[in-house]
Every structure is written in structure tokens, then in C-alpha cells.
Structure 1
Amino acid sequence: MIQSLRGIGGGVRRFAGGVDSWDEETQRRALLSLKLVNEFEEQGSGWFWQTDREGRMTYLSSKVACQVTPIGKPALGLPLTTLFQIDSDQPDTERTLGFHLSSRTSFAEYSVRPGTEDTERWWSISGRPMVDERGNFQGFIGWGSDLTEKRRSEAEITRLALFDSLTGLANRQRMKLSLDQTLALTATSYRQVSLLLLDLDRFKAVNDTLGHQVGDELLKQVASRLLRTVGDAGLVGRLGGDEFQVVLPSESHRDRLATLANNIIVALSAPYFIGGSSVTIGCSIGIAIAPDDGSDSETLVRNADLALYAAKGDGRGLHRFYQQEMLAGAQSRKVLEDDLRQALVQNQLHVAYQPLVATSDARIVGYEALLRWEHPIRGGISPADFIPIAEECGMIETLGEWVMRTACHDAAQWPDHVRVAVNVSPIQFANPALPSIVANALASSGIAPDRLELEITEGVFLNETASSDAMFASLKGLGVRLSLDDFGTGYSSLGYLRKAPFDKIKIDQSFVRGAAIAGNRNAAIIKAIVTLADTLGMETTAEGVETQDEIALIRELGCSHIQGWVYGKAMRAEIVLEVLQAGGQARLVGHRTSRAARVKMLRWAKLEIGGSRGDVRIRNLSTTGAMIDGVAFDGDVEGLKVRIEIVEGRMIDAEMRWSADGQAGIAFAEPIDLERLTAPVSKIRRAAA
């Protein structure tokens, strides 16, 4: 009925003059239809339109007419194609309105917007040709509905799906889409694409200590700085947490990428001011370049992540480019992780004990329990290799509890005055069940609580909260002793010494080594620490003592205890028992005099020989030379001139001293500043103690 009314005179409001010839029932039905149409047009979201044979509007609902034409301008008489602009991006609108008008074919649910005004209005429009009783074409008749709110909702859904709600940056999904599209385009144009993967250093500490609101505000400011630094060079996104990503579609020059990475690190490491507080974090970056480092997004991201892992391993606050050896290293770590999971159940692990010696009379007063792994195929594996893997894969708590139980059980065989020290990682310290684990180990072994000393690193104070204070109180409530391990490195602060109930401070080996060499300032630092500890009523242990002349110096500086290779390496429990039964006197085995300090590490470097370069691994480093592996020479190599990249981008002149079994020793042409060069290198906890 409505359609028949629309066909009379070009509009529903123009038919009234002809109703007199209708019977009463037809007239009543027509008026009711008119009323319903009016109500629908005024109150509903739908509307109607009609054109003549030339496609000019003869009728258009008023609520739409006022939105497609300027104020005061009529819509009637204008072409349909002038009033409405079709959305050609929609898959169901591959043909234009003009095509349907000229071909006199029906169309349905085309998305259109105003053709003359730049307003955010959208409608769905449908229409069909209209013919008279003789079959002659009269124009088009149609209807429509408002899509504006639907479009806005869809746009918001798209925004939420592709953008990070906190920072406004592209999210993980959009970054992957962008990277996939960019890689697809460059596959035919032979251009290179670079990917930067960023991770904020020390962000978790901010979140835990200052709260998530401060953490969220910090992420917003990081995003702002990152956008300013990258500019128009690439797309910046947040993957989640404190991970960010930058896609650079037309940059592959390594020097420029290194400059950009350094600029990002500097920008993100500058202090932030949030809620009246100054907050400082850092940033590490991994870089991969397509197609050399991967031609698909999954491979490229994986390799950038491996480069990021290397940057963190080298000390954080750095950038690293992906190298093929990193993948081999990751695969090796995965094999090591799988083997480590079997090591505990297959009795491949054991606890070795290194003596703690009193400086006054060289008597053994205790032992530090150190975890050792004897692999059935690879032999002894360094803790520096498997402890970080245990921390990453979540095994460190299981291993830590096993070491504590074993150490307490072994200590039960020792004289009552000999203590046992067990390391507690920050991950273990954060576990509320730690006091119960310690209590169970004491109860099952039967040793007195004050014979167990828990060594806690300064890393636990990164997450210093009320729960940390409660943990210290619970542990002291058990009667165990607490030792502050590796003091002077990482996050040293005198503030926590005021309230943390430590019984001992262990002076890190980096201050001990070289202290006996003339002109070294380490002795003054040791003296200051000893004075502080004495004032607070704490004992002191000097770690990493290797030479006999250091013993005399440590004793002179007032340190109460000594630990290090000078009294031998860590030994198995049965040997410890023999030593204690023989009187418990420490035996000197170290060198008489000091030599240049060496830093143990495992990192890749470039070695240049006769203009050719290759990759080697640095095993240890001193001011005068280094030990490397990954090389093989025939014949005598002593005196062979080489250059080695100790710091990325800087080659140092050196010469070969010896070579055997794939390893070699090199001497630098000039002494290097070891502290400055190794400042970014993360400390390895007594790897070979």
C-alpha cells in the first residue's frame, strides 16, 4: 500500500486530492498508511526517496534532505548522484549509482554519504525501477536507513583492535599487519626493511614500588618520546607491557640505524617527572633487517628478539644487531633448558662448598653452598650458563629449595660452629612461601637456625615494598642469619641498610681483585665498607680473594672473613667432611702476588687477521689481554698481529700469544680501561667459584 501511495504524483503528501473517488474503506486504509509512513519517517531511522525518469529527486524524507543540501537549498530536482556519494570501499558496491540509474536495475544496501557536504553521516540505500501499468519506466523508488552510529561503532571497534588503548600507539595486531604489508611490498621492490624491538629496563620496579597508575603514566610519556624521536621514519607500536616496536620501511643503513637506536636509548633514559616524583628507567634495543635477517614477519621478529636478548645480556641500555650466531645460541639454550629439566631427577646436580675463612686465624668458619651440574655428555656446565636459564624458565625456585635442603642435610654432619650459606635469588625472595621452605629444611636436617646463613643480593630491593619488610621479619623470626651478597654492585644504596636486618655484608669481588696493586682505589672502598659494617654491628666477607698478598691487605683493612680461590675451589660434601675432621684449617693454594684483574664473560666479538674478519667468543678479559675461543691455527702463532672488537664498533690492536684446542690468548698493544669497557656487561655471579 505504501509503495502505491509513493507512486502517485511523486510523493505521499500529494495523493490526498484523489481520495474522494475511493470508497470509505480504501480511504481509511490510505490515511492509516499515510499516518504510519509519517510516523516512521519522523521517529524511526528509515526514510524514503523517489526520482523521475532522469534520476532527479521528486521526493526525499525531510530529515535526510536537510543533511545532504546546504541550509535553505531544496533537494528536490537535484540528481540522486549529486546528493549521495557512494562508498566505493565497500565490497558490495562495485557498481555506481549512476550505472543502476542508466541501466534501470535494482540495487540494495549501498553505503552512501552526503555528496556536497563534508559531514560524518552515512546511510544504507536501496532502490528499484518504477513502471506504470503499461510497463513504461517512470523513475526509481527506494528507501534507506541511518548507518552513522553503526559506522562510528565499527570505527571504534577497529581503533580498539588496531591501537593500544593506553598510549594510542599501534598495537601488536596492527604492527604485524603493517610489517606483513611492508615485507610484501619490498619483496618485489628489493628494498630492505628494519625492525627495532625495544624493552624498558627497570620498568617493573617502578610499577611495583610506585603503583600501576605511575607505571601507566610512564608508558604514555615513553610513547610520546618514542614518537618524537622516530618521527616520520617509521611506525611506532606498543606490543604490550613495556615492549615497543618500530618498523622502518625504507631504512637499512646500519650506521643510521645505530644512531637512531642510540637516540632512542638516550631519550627514554632521561628522567621522567610523574606526580611530583623523578623516575628513571632505561631501554634495550634489538635490531633485525629484512630480508637478510628474515623475509617474513615471524622470522624477523624472532631475530630482533634474539638481538634484544643479547643487548640485555651485555648489560642493558644498549642496542645490538642480529647475528646468525644468536640463533645458534638460542637453540643451544633451549637444549640446555630441556637437559636441565632432566638433570635434577637424574641426579646430575650436586652441591659443592667453598670455605669461608676467618682472617684472624685462617680457620674455616663456614661454607657457601654452590650448585654444580655434571652433564653426562657435555661434562661440567658452568653456573653462569645454566643459572640464568633456570631463572628464565621458572626452575630457579625448585633448584633453590633443593640446594637449601641438601646444604642443611650436609651441614648436619659438620661441627656445630661451622655454618652453611645458601644463595636466595630475588625470585625466591618474592615467594611468600620462602619462610616455610626454610623452616622445613631446618626441621628435617635438625641444625640450629643460626647455622644457616641466607645470602640475599641487592636485586631484592628493586621491588622493595611492605612485603619485603615482612619477608625480612619472617626470616629473622626463624633465627637464621642474613647476609647482603655482592655489596657495591648494581643497585647499591645505604638506605636499606638502616632497616634490613643483615648480619653480614659480603664485599663484591670486583673491589677485591687488584686491591693489592699499587695505585688501585679498591682498598679505600673496602676500608669504607668495613667501617660502615662495623658501625652497624655487621661482619664482613671479602669475596673473590685469589692471591696471598690480598689476604694480608684484607686483614689489614679489618675485614672479618675471606672467601675465594686462594683457599681452593668449591669441593664436594665428602671432601668438606674430611677437611673439618682434620681440624678445619684453611690451606693456601692461590698465587703469591696479584696479576691484572680478569673479568669472566661469554660474548661475541669480531677478530681481524690480515684484513679478514671472523666471529670469536671472549672468555675472559683483563687490562692487558683476553682469552678467546672459536679459532683454530696451524703452527706457531706467537706474535701474529690481530685486531679485536672489544666494544661494538671499536677495533683494538693486539697480537697472539698462544693457541690450543680452539682457544687462544691475545695481548693488547696498549693497556685498556677495563672498568669503562666492561661497565655495560652484566655481572656473572661467581661462575667458576
Structure 2
Amino acid sequence: MSVLKDIFVSRRQAADAARKAQMIDSFESAGLGYFWSTDAQGNIDYLTPSAFSNLGWNRKAVTGTPISNHLLPAEDPDKGNERPLSFLLSARNSITALTVKLKTDIGDVWWEISGKPQFDASGEFAGYRGSAKDITHSRTEAAANDRRTQVDTLTGLANKTQIKRFLTQNLRVFRNTKQSCAVLMVDLDRFKQVNETLGQAAGNELLKQAAGRLGRIASDKISIARLSADEFLVVMPDVDDRAILGDMAQRVVQILSQPYAIDSNQANVGASVGIAVAPYDGVETDELLNASEMALFAAKGSGNGKYRFYSSDLKKQAKHRGEIESELREAIAKDQLRMFYQPIICAKTHALKCVEALIRWDHPERGWISPGEFIPIAEESGVIRKVGAWALRQVCEDAQNWPVEIRAAINVSAVQFEHDDFVQIAKKALIESGIEPSRIELEITESVFVGDYDGIMKIFKGLKGLGVRLSLDDFGTGYSSLSYLRNAPFDKIKIDQSFVRGCTEPGNNNSAIMRAIVSLAEALDMETVAEGIEAKDELELVKRRGATHLQGLIFSGAVSNDELLAKLESGVLTYDPRGPEKYRADRRTEFRRIGLIHDDHRYDVVLRNLSKSGALIEGLLRVPEGTEIVLDLGGGQLAVATVRRSNEYTQGVEFETPLISDGADGLCTRHRVSPYQIEAAGRPLAALPDDPYAAMSSGYQAHARPKAFVQVDTSRRDAAA
């Protein structure tokens, strides 16, 4: 019985082995997977026959060669810490679902392999036995799906998910290499109007064209993404020079502000840009994006077509804006708004020909608030329509009561102008005041040409039908296009003060630009007004360039209606120029406390005024001319300077590197104290604190030399050591 049992078992085992071999053969033949094995040295000694034909491999050339030569790491970024096959084989570890890449004549192929080490009866390693399946199709599909989730389907740019992933990876690397990374958040100004007037399809086409324009500035180092409907992001690794960033922001504004051809229509939008730089304004991705968004909000608040750098002050400004918006809604009802008038003079006779109406807000607690502060808030909140209608009525009433029939020019907001009822509002103001329409001049900026061009031209036609005059304000500073000058019925072009300022400086192109504008206006039978004239050399040059009218502090600033009435009633309607002989760079009156650093000591001084090239300070007694100092302007801005003039407690200093525009009519340094410097001083890496210099230099002043200067309290004129 025992012998028969052994024979029966042996036959059953043979049958099982045959069935297994048959099943394996069927599995291989069906292409459901492959089997492989190696010898003890890691050389291939078996591979499913169909694998050779599917891969285009030569059996003889491959058999007997190291398997690690053919099954390569998959280079999968999501599994960057996975052990390569060569390591697993040498360590004789089991292999489970390892993705490998095979180089073949038919292209890259991906397998998922598993295997176990084999040992002979004596326990000696005998090689590997394993299986494999081809995952090329599923992997390719997954990659395609991944790309679809990372690309904006409308524009083809990276989407928000992808750019945030890219930023996160780069910021992690840059923290280790002590590099910076700048982001420019870009928003299309008044894009909503294009959607509303021309339709969503036109809006989508405009977005695609805008993306194409931004794509032209992309490079190996500059990445572009679309964040939302009309919002884009420009990422510039390893850049923290704010001069370079400001130039890039201005370039973005310019390329996005050119007209868009959409079917048979022309659409015009502008752009605003908010700039933030890591690690100065944020270390993590969300922190950096929030900073750039806050800067963008500030840029839009200061007028379309602007850019702003992020600063910690923007949080305070945002709160202040909210308060201003709330209080502005009640300003008209509480009779807090006032109209002031600045003379516009004949270039030949210096006789008064016109006045520009400028609105002011006499706030009971905050004092006088300039239009530059509250008009952008009024435009954004929609209050501008109410404010603009009041201003139009008030100017018409004031002008009708003047004893001399001079013209009055009124600034019209683009937000106010675009509404269909604007012509009726103007008509009502003219009728109720009884003024001759030709005495009213509406000053309109180029930004009105955004959106529905035909609708804008209809409004122009309606206004000219009323008999009022039209003036193109700030020409050449925004959405310049000669096409609307050909069709729009303007009577006057105003040469923006940015072309007048510095026009006499060597190498300045402003003089040539003025000549071109004047020649264009003459060809179109229009008057010209050069505004912002302050110095006598500017005045003479503007006259030589042929401007027909002049405006600026050299003749008069804006005066109240009562002061203007007194001038008109006096009968003396000419103005003598009064101002400096020569232009010098703008000096902003600051009157704020800053730090002054000399020989590792920090003093408190008062900044009296500030220009690109220098500043006037007071607070130190008898500082020798030629002394080198550093001014701490706040926010990590350290400006190296030399004392050029010194008189008792007042010094005039010249900057080693000129300041640049901050995008909001202010000035800033090109570079700031780096958070990496603060980190090196023993602090955790973070965005710039309120006093970066103190954080960087903590503990350093223990070895400082004695103070060289005596600090003075200029408010009391009492000297104190």
C-alpha cells in the first residue's frame, strides 16, 4: 500500500506541476504579465518570451546581462525616496510593486515588478524569481490627468494648483540656498465691463490674448500662471531688486494695456500689479501670495494701471481705506466737500483763460483730505457717481456767478463716465445753473476707452451735442492709442506733469515727447496744456515746445472759490511766474522720525524731505560734511549716504544709490535688509519684522565706539547727549 500511495502522490504532484506550467504559459501568452529570474550575480537568466518581442529586445543580447542595466529607476518625483532596483538586489530584499523604466526602441516603457530572493538547499543565495506587469498605459493616462489638473484649460498657462506647488518647492530650495523669489500678482482692470458689454465669449478671447502677451515675458526663470478669472501670477526666482521688479511690473501694465482685437470689436483693459518678495514679505507660499494680493489691492486703490510693493503698512492702510469709504458716503450730506480752482494760463500773454476744478474734502476730524486719497476709494466703492454729480453741479453754479466768463474744467472719473445716464446728469447741471455750455470743459482720461468702444463714442456724441468742450487728460500715461484721437471729439490735450518734470535735465527724453504731443495736437486742431510747471527753466522749455496753455505752481496752486472771486473782481487777470530758476528732483515733504546709523550707533533724527538723490534731515549737532552715514527709512530700507551740507542741527545728504519709485508716488530703496541676515544673527527665519535693523544688530553694539555726535531734540531746540 505504501508503494502505491507514493506512486499516486507522485502522479498527482506531476499533474499539479503540469497544470501550473500550463497556467503560467497561458498567463504569459495572454500578455497579462511577465515572469523573470536572475542568477546569483544578478544577471537575467529567464524572461517571458513575449516580453522580448513586445520590447523589441534581442534575447541573446539581453540574457546573461545584469538586470539593473535594463530596469532603470522610474524617476518619479512623488516617490523620490524609493530605493532603486540595484540597491534592493544587492541587499537581497524582497521587491514589492516597484516601478521601473525600460529603454526600448519603441520608446519608454514602465513596468511594476515584484520578486523574492531564492536560496538553494545549503542556504546559498541563488538569485531572484519575480513577476512584472506593463503599466505604461495607466501611467501615461495618470500623467495626462495630472497635467490637466495643473494647466488652465482656457489659456494653457499653469493653474493655481500647479503654481502653488511650484512655489512651495522653490521656496523650500531657496531657504537652503539663501535665495529670494518674487511674485507679481496681476489683475486686469475693468475686465468685468468687457464681459458685460461684449459677452463672455469675448471676455474669454481677451483672457487668451492677455495670457499670450504674458507668455512672451516667460523664460526658463520666469513662470506665468492664471490664478482666477482675470488674475495672473508672474514668478521671478532669485530677484529682490525692486528696480528690476518695478520695471517688470510697468512692462506688464504696458503690454496688457494695448487694445485687443476681438472679432469686429476693439476692447481695452488695463492692469494693476501687486509685488511681494520672499523671504522679505513671507516665507511660506500662502504668506507670500497674501502679501502680493494686499499689494495688488493697494495698487488698484491708487488708480488703475499702477503697481505697488508690499509693506507692513498696507494692513493699516486697508483699515484706513475702510474708514474713509464709510465716512465718504456721508460727506456730501454733511456738506464736507469743497471745490478749489487752479488757473490755466495763456502761454503767450500769461492771461487767465481757464481754471481746473479740484475737489477737496474738509473732514471735521482728519482735516483736509486730498482727492488722491479718497477718489480711488470712491471709484472702487461706487460712491464716485454721487461725488461726481455733486462736483459737476457745484462747478457750474460757481462759474455762473463769476464776474468774468472764463472756462471751468472738471475731471470726470472713468467709472462715472461709462454710465448711460452721464449725459443726462451733465445736461441737468447745465440747465439748472444756466451757464453757457461752452464754458464747461470735461477732462477725461484715456482709461474711458476700456470696454465698449461704440458705447463710449455714443456718450462723446451726446456730450458734444450739449455744447460742452472735451479735454484729454494725462495723455500718454495710460492706454495711449491714436485711433481714438482720430474719432473722439477732443478740443484739448493735457500734457501730463510727468513729461514736464525734469524735461530740462541732460539726456531726458521728455522734451522730445512734449514736442511730439504738441505737433499731434496742432495737426488735429487741438489746444495743449502743459501741467505741473514749477521751475522757470521748465516754463521756458515748455513755451519753446509750443504748448498753448500752462498750468502749475509757478503761477498758482489751487485756490478756494472765494479767493478766485477776489482775483476775478480785481480785474488783474494775468499771472507772473514765481518759482526756482531751475528744476531739481522732487523732494517729498516727510517730517517723520527715522534712524541714522554711524559707527555702529543709532540716532533718532527727523526726515524733513526726501528725493531720489538725497534728503534733508535734522536732529544731530554739527555733523561734518563728507561724513558717511546710513539712513534707516523703515521696513528694512537702509540707504547709504554722505553729508553734503551741514548747518547746526540740519544736514543735507546725498544717497550712494538713488531711490526708486514705489509705484504709488513714493520712493523706496532698491534693496532691503535680508531676513537671511537676521537669521544669521540667531533669529528664526521669518518675514521682515517691524525693526529689521534692530533684529539684525542685537548684541552687536556692546563693542561699539563712543558716539561721535550730539543728538538734538529739534522740537524744543534743547541739546541732549
TM-score band, normalised by shorter chain: 0.5 to 0.7
Q: Structure 2 residue aligned with 1:331, among 315, 319, 334?
A: 315
SS in 2 for 1:238: strand
Match of 2:10 in 1: none
1:156 lines up with 2:144 in the alignment:
yes
- Per-residue deviation at 1:160? 4.5
SS in 2 for 1:46: coil
Find the aligned partners of 2:157 and 2:274 in 1 and give their Cα distance.
20
1:342 lines up with 2:331 in the alignment:
no
CA-to-partner distance for each residue in 1:384-413, whole Å, 9 max, x for gaps? 44556666xx24xx3432332112222453
Match of 1:455 in 2: 443
- Per-residue deviation at 1:354? 0.4
Letter in 2 for 1:484: L
Find the aligned partners of 2:96 and 2:339 in 1 and give their Cα distance.
81
Match of 1:66 in 2: 53
Q: Structure 1 residue aligned with 2:216, among 209, 215, 221?
A: 221
Letter in 2 for 1:354: Y
Q: Structure 1 residue aligned with 2:421, among 421, 428, 436?
A: 436
- Per-residue deviation at 1:353? 2.5
Alpha carbons of 1:263 and 1:649: their partners in 2 closer, same or farther (altered >3 Å)?
farther
Match of 1:421 in 2: 409
Q: Structure 1 residue aligned with 2:236, among 219, 228, 246?
A: 246
CA-to-partner distance for each residue in 1:302-334, whole Å, 9 max, x for gaps? 6678899999999999999x8xxx624323422
What TM-score results when the alignment is normalised by the length of structure 2?
0.57
Match of 1:371 in 2: 359
SS in 2 for 1:327: coil
SS in 2 for 1:597: coil
Match of 1:30 in 2: none
Letter in 1 for 2:341: Q
**Is contact 2:339–2:395 with CA below 8 Å preserved after alignment?**
no
- Per-residue deviation at 1:425? 4.3
CA-to-partner distance for each residue in 1:10-66, whole Å, 9 max, x for gaps? 432799xxxxxxxxxxxxxxxxxx8xx79xx64xx7347598999999998765453
**Is contact 1:514–1:594 with CA below 8 Å preserved after alignment?**
no
Q: Structure 2 residue aligned with 1:177, among 154, 168, 173?
A: 168
Match of 1:134 in 2: none
Find the aligned partners of 1:332 and 1:665 in 2 and give their Cα distance.
31
Q: Structure 2 residue aligned with 1:194, among 176, 180, 197?
A: 180
Letter in 1 for 2:165: R
- Per-residue deviation at 1:195? 1.4
Match of 1:8 in 2: 18
- Per-residue deviation at 1:547? 9.0
The total of aligned residue pairs comes to: 590
**Is contact 1:549–1:592 with CA below 8 Å preserved after alignment?**
no
Find the aligned partners of 1:82 and 1:175 in 2 and give their Cα distance.
33
Find the aligned partners of 1:284 and 1:246 in 2 and give their Cα distance.
14
CA-to-partner distance for each residue in 1:499-541, whole Å, 9 max, x for gaps? 3311223344567789999xx9999998997786566443444
Find the aligned partners of 1:95 and 1:591 in 2 and give their Cα distance.
82
- Per-residue deviation at 1:157? 3.2
Letter in 2 for 1:192: K
Find the aligned partners of 1:10 and 1:104 in 2 and give their Cα distance.
26
Find the aligned partners of 1:480 and 1:243 in 2 and give their Cα distance.
43
SS in 1 for 2:428: helix
- Per-residue deviation at 1:202? 11
SS in 1 for 2:180: strand
Find the aligned partners of 1:372 and 1:344 in 2 and give their Cα distance.
12
Find the aligned partners of 1:56 and 1:553 in 2 and give their Cα distance.
87
Find the aligned partners of 1:490 and 1:554 in 2 and give their Cα distance.
22
**Is contact 1:358–1:561 with CA below 8 Å preserved after alignment?**
yes
CA-to-partner distance for each residue in 1:562-609, whole Å, 9 max, x for gaps? 655577544556x379659x8585778977565443665659999978
- Per-residue deviation at 1:151? 0.5
Alpha carbons of 1:626 and 1:110: their partners in 2 closer, same or farther (altered >3 Å)?
closer
- Per-residue deviation at 1:351? 3.6
**Is contact 1:69–1:75 with CA below 8 Å preserved after alignment?**
no
User: Aligned ranges for residues 114-129 of structure 1 at < 5 Å?
Assistant: 120-124=108-112
Find the aligned partners of 1:76 and 1:282 in 2 and give their Cα distance.
64
Find the aligned partners of 2:426 and 2:250 in 1 and give their Cα distance.
47
- Per-residue deviation at 1:439? 2.1
Find the aligned partners of 2:344 and 2:499 in 1 and give their Cα distance.
18
- Per-residue deviation at 1:380? 2.5
Find the aligned partners of 1:243 and 1:502 in 2 and give their Cα distance.
37
Find the aligned partners of 1:109 and 1:387 in 2 and give their Cα distance.
65
Structure 1 segments unaligned to the other structure (5+ residues): 16-33, 130-138, 231-235
SS in 2 for 1:340: helix
Find the aligned partners of 2:553 and 2:70 in 1 and give their Cα distance.
90
1:597 lines up with 2:583 in the alignment:
yes
Find the aligned partners of 1:289 and 1:296 in 2 and give their Cα distance.
8
Match of 1:484 in 2: 472
Alpha carbons of 1:333 and 1:162: their partners in 2 closer, same or farther (altered >3 Å)?
same
Match of 2:488 in 1: 500
Letter in 1 for 2:135: L
Match of 1:23 in 2: none
CA-to-partner distance for each residue in 1:68-105, whole Å, 9 max, x for gaps? 682355999999999977979788998989999x9999
**Is contact 2:423–2:462 with CA below 8 Å preserved after alignment?**
no
Letter in 1 for 2:173: T
Letter in 2 for 1:403: V
Q: Which has the higher contact order (CA 8 A, sep 6+)?
A: 2
SS in 2 for 1:506: strand
Letter in 2 for 1:345: R
Q: Structure 2 residue aligned with 1:352, among 326, 329, 339?
A: 339
Q: Structure 1 residue aligned with 2:370, among 382, 385, 390?
A: 382
Alpha carbons of 1:512 and 1:73: their partners in 2 closer, same or farther (altered >3 Å)?
closer
User: Aligned ranges for residues 95-174 of structure 1 at < 5 Å?
Assistant: 111=99, 120-124=108-112, 146-161=134-149, 166=156, 171-174=162-165
- Per-residue deviation at 1:446? 3.4
Letter in 2 for 1:481: R
SS in 2 for 1:174: helix
Identity of aligned residues (%): 26
Alpha carbons of 1:271 and 1:500: their partners in 2 closer, same or farther (altered >3 Å)?
closer
Letter in 2 for 1:244: V
Find the aligned partners of 1:642 and 1:53 in 2 and give their Cα distance.
77
SS in 2 for 1:413: helix
Alpha carbons of 1:483 and 1:84: their partners in 2 closer, same or farther (altered >3 Å)?
closer
Letter in 1 for 2:645: E
**Is contact 1:351–1:372 with CA below 8 Å preserved after alignment?**
yes
Q: Structure 2 residue aligned with 1:403, among 387, 390, 403?
A: 387
Find the aligned partners of 2:509 and 2:39 in 1 and give their Cα distance.
99
**Is contact 2:37–2:129 with CA below 8 Å preserved after alignment?**
yes
- Per-residue deviation at 1:551? 9.9
User: Aligned ranges for residues 607-622 of structure 1 at < 5 Å?
Assistant: 619=609
Find the aligned partners of 1:270 and 1:523 in 2 and give their Cα distance.
22
Find the aligned partners of 1:181 and 1:330 in 2 and give their Cα distance.
26
SS in 2 for 1:373: strand
1:446 lines up with 2:434 in the alignment:
no
Alpha carbons of 1:75 and 1:192: their partners in 2 closer, same or farther (altered >3 Å)?
closer
Structure 2 segments unaligned to the other structure (5+ residues): 1-13, 118-126, 192-201, 262-269, 667-721
Alpha carbons of 1:319 and 1:369: their partners in 2 closer, same or farther (altered >3 Å)?
closer
Find the aligned partners of 2:39 and 2:345 in 1 and give their Cα distance.
109
Alpha carbons of 1:666 and 1:468: their partners in 2 closer, same or farther (altered >3 Å)?
farther
- Per-residue deviation at 1:455? 0.7
Q: CA RMSD in A?
A: 7.0
Find the aligned partners of 1:118 and 1:467 in 2 and give their Cα distance.
60
Find the aligned partners of 2:254 and 2:551 in 1 and give their Cα distance.
39
Find the aligned partners of 1:592 and 1:50 in 2 and give their Cα distance.
96
